């Protein structure tokens, strides 16, 4: 999705003939997230598609709708055998009968279930079948949207997507991503943010989390005194995991639709060649490599603001390394950016230094607050309970999924009811 910019998370320290080919066309690329109208997205070049995974799983960034599914009564006769590919891949669809009992309106059913783009659904199913037949279908990180992200990143080439996806799974194991997510403590965060102002703050009008960086204010020397490159990279990975596993699901509950991408703002006021020192380039390349290889297709749009003549000259060089799909998501703005941001983000979710009304005085500033639905206690309690249930169910499942592993990959019915009631009443 990018080469010179760490676009998906905007963490920039400036410094054969397979079935997949049937899906490729000259049409514009579609975003993974759904957006059922409005919310400042009318000018988006992408056509959104709602989500409902064909195979339930415990994914890296689970579509929140996955957790709303009501599993049918478990019967021995309905359990798929490991040799029955069709039953293994299609069994979770039976939950839709139970889903109708809960959803009492079409709008509720749309929130809980949604639909997939038929072409995307077909190629994702082909991808699942390929992984399953080669005994490489994982017990985790196998949800519809995770697979779709890797397919998009490889232009829907099944073999290339498979290679990228399996490398991703191996990287998670080798780098200890699960351990980082649970155990890593970035105690120097407050000091880091003084010399590298960045953070999530609120949501856009469609419910997507908003990420902000003030790149021109980065003091790299102070940053490297406050932390090490190794620890900063681990912090970045932990933030990516938090976004996929907490921020997106929480935003989905709050917005009552699936959210799986970020709206980002990059303030480049004051950026110059001094920001591209050797340590800065090395740190940026490490983060960019991780994001483009292991966390693809999570950007909805990026606003680059306060782009003066100096940066615009630099931009001419940088954009040569980006593909058309990424460039279509980027809006390069000068100092008169306020009206454009307000179209997409309500002023209450914009910091005062960007022309909004929020100061987050109680937190010492907006970029220290991590403001958003993921701080709502009711929502986080639900997600924590779901996560605990998933961890319990996942014990002993191993890295690859069998028929029984997929069969038992259902969410506890009581948790589903709690989440659904919250959405319905709210």
Check whether 145 has a pLDDT greater than 50: yes
Going by pLDDT thresholds of 50, 70 and 90, the confidence category of residue 394 is: low
What distance in Å separates the CA atoms of residue 202 and residue 342, rounded to the nearest whole number? 13
Query: Where on the phi/psi map is residue 334: left (φ > 0), alpha (ψ -120 to 50), or beta?
Result: beta
| Total residues belonging to the chain | 426
CB neighbourhood size of 46 (10 A): 19
Check whether 357 has a pLDDT greater than 90: yes
Give the list of residues 6+ apart from residue 5 with CB closer than 8 angstroms, or none. Answer: 12, 288, 318, 322
Cβ atoms of 348 and 202 closer than 8 Å: yes
Identify the pLDDT of residue 200: 98
Check whether 21 has a pLDDT greater than 80: no
Question: Tokens 């009581």 sit at which residue?
Answer: 414
Pairing of strands 198-203, 330-332: unpaired
Q: For 69-83, 214-228, 257-271, which range has the lowest pLDDT when averaged over its residues?
A: 69-83
Eight-class DSSP state of 175? H
Tokens (6 digits) for 184: 């890593």
Structure pTM?
0.70
What distance in Å separates the CA atoms of residue 205 and residue 69, rounded to the nearest whole number? 26
Cα dihedral 49, 420, 382, 92 in deg (nearest 10) = -60
pLDDT > 70: percent of the chain: 62
Burial grade of 129 (CB within 10 A; 0-12, 13-18, 19 or more): middle
Radius of gyration of the chain (CA): 21
Identify the pLDDT of residue 65: 32
Closest listed residue to residue 266, CA positions, set 297, 306, 236, 233: 306
Identify the pLDDT of residue 391: 61
As beta bridge partners, residue 262 has 299
Identify the pLDDT of residue 285: 84
More confident residue, 317 or 7: 317
As beta bridge partners, residue 330 has 302
**Element containing residue 102 per DSSP (H, E):** helix 95-102
Q: In b/e form, how buried is each residue of 294-328, taking b as 16+ CB within 10 angstroms?
A: bbbbbbbbbbbbbbeeebeebbeeebeebeebbee
Cβ atoms of 351 and 360 closer than 8 Å: yes
Query: What's the pLDDT tens digit per position in 47-82?
Result: 343 443 343 333 333 333 333 333 333 444 444 444
Give the list of residues 6+ apart from residue 404 with CB closer than 8 angstroms, or none. Answer: 79, 82
Check whether 134 has a pLDDT greater than 50: yes
Identify the pLDDT of residue 227: 96
Identify the pLDDT of residue 115: 54
**Element containing residue 325 per DSSP (H, E):** helix 324-327
Identify the pLDDT of residue 253: 87
Q: What is each CA distance from 390 to 1, 196, 348, 382, 410, in whole angstroms? A: 31, 35, 35, 12, 9
What distance in Å separates the CA atoms of residue 116 and residue 34, rounded to the nearest whole number? 9
Domains of the chain: 19-176 (no CATH), 183-375 (3.40.525.10)
Tokens (6 digits) for 168: 């991703």
Identify the pLDDT of residue 288: 84
Cβ atoms of 67 and 245 closer than 8 Å: no
Cβ atoms of 12 and 6 closer than 8 Å: yes
């Amino acid at each position: 999705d990018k080469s010179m910019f760490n676009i998906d998370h905007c963490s920039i320290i400036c410094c054969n003939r397979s079935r997949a080919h049937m899906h490729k066309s000259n049409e514009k690329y579609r975003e993974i997230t759904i957006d059922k109208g409005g919310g400042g997205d009318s000018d988006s070049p992408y056509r959104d598609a709602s989500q409902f995974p064909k195979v339930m799983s415990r994914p890296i960034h689970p579509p929140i709708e996955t957790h709303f599914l009501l599993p049918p009564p478990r019967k021995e006769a309905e359990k798929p055998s490991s040799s029955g590919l069709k039953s293994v891949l299609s069994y979770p669809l039976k939950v839709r009968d139970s889903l109708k009992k809960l959803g009492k309106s079409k709008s509720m059913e749309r929130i809980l279930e949604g639909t997939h783009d038929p072409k995307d659904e077909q190629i994702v199913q082909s991808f699942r079948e390929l992984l399953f037949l080669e005994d490489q279908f994982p017990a985790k990180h196998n949800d519809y949207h995770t697979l779709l992200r890797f397919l998009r990143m490889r232009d829907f080439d099944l073999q290339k997507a498979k290679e990228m996806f399996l490398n991703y799974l191996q990287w998670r194991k080798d780098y200890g991503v699960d351990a980082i997510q649970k155990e890593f403590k970035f105690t120097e965060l407050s000091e880091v943010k003084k010399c590298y102002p960045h953070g999530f703050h609120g949501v856009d009008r469609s419910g997507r989390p908003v990420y902000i960086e003030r790149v021109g204010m980065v003091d790299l020397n102070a940053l490297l005194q406050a932390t090490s490159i190794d620890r900063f990279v681990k912090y970045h990975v932990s933030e990516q995991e938090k976004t996929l596993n907490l921020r997106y699901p929480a935003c989905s509950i709050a917005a009552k639709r699936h959210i799986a991408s970020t709206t980002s703002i990059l303030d480049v006021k004051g950026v110059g060649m001094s920001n591209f020192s050797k340590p800065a380039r090395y740190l940026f390349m490490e983060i960019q490599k991780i994001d483009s290889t292991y966390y693809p297709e999570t950007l909805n749009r990026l606003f680059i603001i306060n782009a003066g003549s100096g940066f615009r000259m630099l931009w001419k060089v940088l954009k040569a390394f980006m593909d058309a799909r990424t460039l279509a998501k980027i809006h390069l703005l000068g100092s008169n950016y306020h009206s454009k941001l307000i179209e997409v983000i309500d002023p209450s979710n914009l910091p005062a230094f960007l022309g909004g009304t929020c100061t987050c005085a109680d937190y010492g500033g907006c970029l220290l607050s991590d403001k958003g639905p993921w701080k709502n206690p009711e929502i986080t309690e639900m997600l924590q309970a779901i996560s605990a249930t998933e961890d319990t169910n996942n014990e002993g499942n191993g890295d690859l999924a069998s028929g029984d592993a997929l069969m038992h990959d259902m969410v506890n019915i009581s948790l589903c009811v709690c989440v659904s009631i919250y959405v319905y009443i709210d």
